[in-house]
Amino acid sequence: MRLRYTAACVGVTAAALMVTSACGTDGAKTAAKAVDKADMIMAALARATDQTENLGSAQVRTTTETPTASPVTMDGTYSWGHGLAFDVLMDTKAAHLQQLHAAAKTRTVYVDGAYYYEIDPQPSGPFKGKEWMKIDASAVFGNKGAEALQGSSGAGSPAAAMKGLKYANNVDDLGKETVDGQSATHYRAVVDKEHMGKFKKAYGNNLFGSMTGGSDSITMDIWVGAKDLPVRMKQWFGSLTVTMDFEKFGATAAIKAPPAAQTGDVTEQVKKATAQQQG
pLDDT of 9: 29
How buried is 254 (Cβ within 10 angstroms: 0-12 exposed, 13-18 middle, 19+ buried)?
A: exposed
Write the DSSP string, 99-146.
Answer: TT--SSEEEEEEETTEEEEE-PPBSSGGGBT-SEEEEETHHHHHHHHH
Is there a contact between 111 and 146 (Cβ–Cβ < 8 Å)?
Answer: no
Is there a contact between 169 and 192 (Cβ–Cβ < 8 Å)?
Answer: yes
- Distance from C-alpha of 154 to C-alpha of 145, rounded to nearest angstrom: 11
Of residues 148 and 164, which shows the higher confidence score? Answer: 164
Tell me the per-residue pLDDT of 131-142, one tens digit each, with 9 for 90 and over.
999 999 888 777
| 124 pLDDT higher than 60 | yes
Mean pLDDT of 163-178: 88
| 3-class SS of residue 91 | strand
Of 8-17, 83-92, 217-226, 253-262, which gets the smallest average pLDDT? 8-17
pLDDT of 197: 63
pLDDT of 1: 41
Residue 275 is which amino acid? A
The pTM of this model reads 0.76
